[in-house]
Amino acid sequence: MGGSEAKKALIAEIMGLLESLGKDKYLLRDEIIQQSPGLSIITTMTSYEMLQKCPVKLLFRLKDDLGKINAKDDMSRFSETFHWFFTDVVASTDPGVTVDDQALKIVELNKLIQRTTTFRNRDKAYTLVLPTGDGNAIGFKDSPEKPLLLSIELHKAINEYNNNIQNTKKKIEVRIGLSTGPVYHIKDLVGNPNVWGPGIIYARRVMDLGRAKSILATDAFANTVQRLRPEFRKIMHLLGNYPIKKEIIPVYNVFGNINGIDVGTKKNPIVRRIQKSTSESEIRKIINTFYFTRIEIILDILEPETMLTHHTWIWHVVNQTDQPVERVFYYLEGDIPRDFPDLNVKVTDEDGKELVIKSLNVNKPDKKEFFVQLNRALKPHQKGRIVKLEYDWEEPERHFYYTFSSDCKKYRFLLTAPKTMPLKQKVARVSPETGDIMYASSPPSVKFLKDRTEVEWTASEIPAFDAYRFDW
């Protein structure tokens, strides 16, 4: 058989494969362009004309690839992003609960989900509902907030249901995982539609970290949804980094009161978080990365009895490297044990826009370390950029330490206290090598105002690693 005849035979085989697979010229066009981008293939060509353009070697590859399509046909060609709600009944395999009662809980859970407004009003064309045996996975393509709204409604419904159940073994307890991510549409063993991909996998894995009443979310989900409404941000609390299979990812705990509904639980996940301090290495990086044209530290004493204090750190920062910087590092210490959500941490930029805490490396009772993602990168040598940190923490010893992580041109410390509170204001430099204390030669100034007392101290040209203690 001559070369042209062999090519015609190959083309005929490929045309037959396309017909048997029910595929059109658009699939053929995509395959040819992918394997040989240099060929001049246009959509107006027929399948035969496209194949005529192909060299014989490419025709053999196309024939082989089309022969494999039957295997690929059970999986969608492209992924789709869904926002996932994954739940199951806690202790559904508890041997102390009869099989009938366990099955009844699952049936009742399904009914409670079906009655929620979010589920009833869902757009079925943009929603996936996948039973998981002892729970459900529900993916919403049209709205990232729907998994959270469904969680809120379900918790309210479960609370009302349990209040009418006397036998504690018959009460329903669930845990919920929320995530956002892509999935592929596939078919299961009996040909039913199903999905696979990071979106649903991570929803399941964060759920598996939880306990009864837990609503846990990945950072991909939380970072999107908490920007949508202020009330969502208030109930989303970064817990820190947790091990999931071979990865370590940031996990959020969703709990609090929203619109009069108590949701979630403040209790941490069962699995222990990974806490690895990076403060020493990050502080060493800061001295080479930033310098401060101005730093303002403002302490506002809210409750004299407990010394609960609102802290504000305002950094006027300059990137002194030749590369853009996209995040900043914070290290906090306190005398009273506090979990991170209790500190009410908020970070904003010079435009007043709230910044996202991307990684909580350490959440020990007396120490916190975390990174904040900037909305806009700090350009090399750019001035006029501000990062403002606010948090609440008690200061029972009535003093505050601050260590300068890099050179600072101007510094201002301001303490405000109720007028009735007696103050003994002092400022001391603390030696970073020995810890020796030397009181500052210039004392702080004091203003007695109508409703409060203000203590202010300023300094200039403070070198990196200098540390000061402010007493009151």
Assess contact for 118 and 153: CB atoms under 8 A. yes
* Residues 28, 12 share a domain: yes
- Note whether residue 453 is domain-resident: yes
- Note whether residue 168 is domain-resident: yes
Assess contact for 50 and 25: CB atoms under 8 A. yes
* Residues 329, 190 share a domain: no
Assess contact for 241 and 250: CB atoms under 8 A. yes
- Note whether residue 50 is domain-resident: yes
Whole-number pLDDT of residue 192: 76
Distance CA 187, CA 241 (A): 34
CA atoms within 13 A on the CB side of 351: 6
- Note whether residue 199 is domain-resident: yes
Nearest to 339 by CA among 195, 239, 262, 421: 239
* Residues 93, 58 share a domain: no
* Residues 84, 67 share a domain: no
Q: Is 337 exposed, middle or buried (0-12, 13-18, 19+ CB in 10 A)?
A: exposed
Distance CA 402, CA 389 (A): 14
Residue stretches of the chain with pLDDT short of 50: 71
Nearest to 18 by CA among 5, 31, 34, 36: 31
The CATH number given to whatever domain includes residue 177 is 3.30.70.1230
* Residues 297, 318 share a domain: yes
Assess contact for 218 and 178: CB atoms under 8 A. yes
- Note whether residue 274 is domain-resident: no
Whole-number pLDDT of residue 9: 86
Please identify, among 19, 41, 72, the residue that sits at the C-terminal boundary of a domain.
72
- Note whether residue 308 is domain-resident: yes
Give the CA dihedral 32, 36, 42, 43, nearest 10 degrees.
20
Domain that holds residue 290: 279-471
Please identify, among 233, 263, 293, the residue that sits at the C-terminal boundary of a domain.
263
- In degrees, rounded to 5, the angle at the alpha carbon of residue 310 between the alpha carbons of residues 306 and 314 is 155
What's the number of domains the chain is made of? 3
Whole-number pLDDT of residue 4: 79
Residue 221 has φ and ψ, to the nearest 5°, of: -75, -50
* Residues 134, 186 share a domain: yes
Please identify, among 238, 263, 288, the residue that sits at the C-terminal boundary of a domain.
263
Strand partners, 238: 252
DSSP states along 200-238: HHHHHHHHHT--TT-EEEEHHHHHHHTTT-HHHHHHEEE
Tokens of 430: 């603390």
- Note whether residue 268 is domain-resident: no
Nearest to 89 by CA among 149, 192, 181, 175: 175
Q: How far does Cα 131 stand from its chain's mean position?
A: 26
Distance CA 41, CA 422 (A): 84
Q: How far is CA 232 from CA 139, 192, 226, 365, in A?
A: 19, 36, 5, 25
Tokens of 214: 């837990």
Helix (H, G, I), strand (E, B) or coil at 284: helix
The CATH number given to whatever domain includes residue 303 is 2.60.40
* Residues 244, 99 share a domain: yes
Q: What is the DSSP letter of 141?
A: S
% of residues, the chain, pLDDT over 90: 37
* Residues 51, 188 share a domain: no
* Residues 39, 99 share a domain: no
Assess contact for 217 and 178: CB atoms under 8 A. yes
Assess contact for 294 and 412: CB atoms under 8 A. yes
- Note whether residue 356 is domain-resident: yes
* Residues 431, 349 share a domain: yes
Whole-number pLDDT of residue 340: 87
Whole-number pLDDT of residue 239: 86
Assess contact for 77 and 27: CB atoms under 8 A. no
Tokens of 387: 């990062």
* Residues 291, 242 share a domain: no
Distance CA 332, CA 392 (A): 11
* Residues 234, 162 share a domain: yes
Whole-number pLDDT of residue 22: 64
Distance CA 417, CA 423 (A): 9
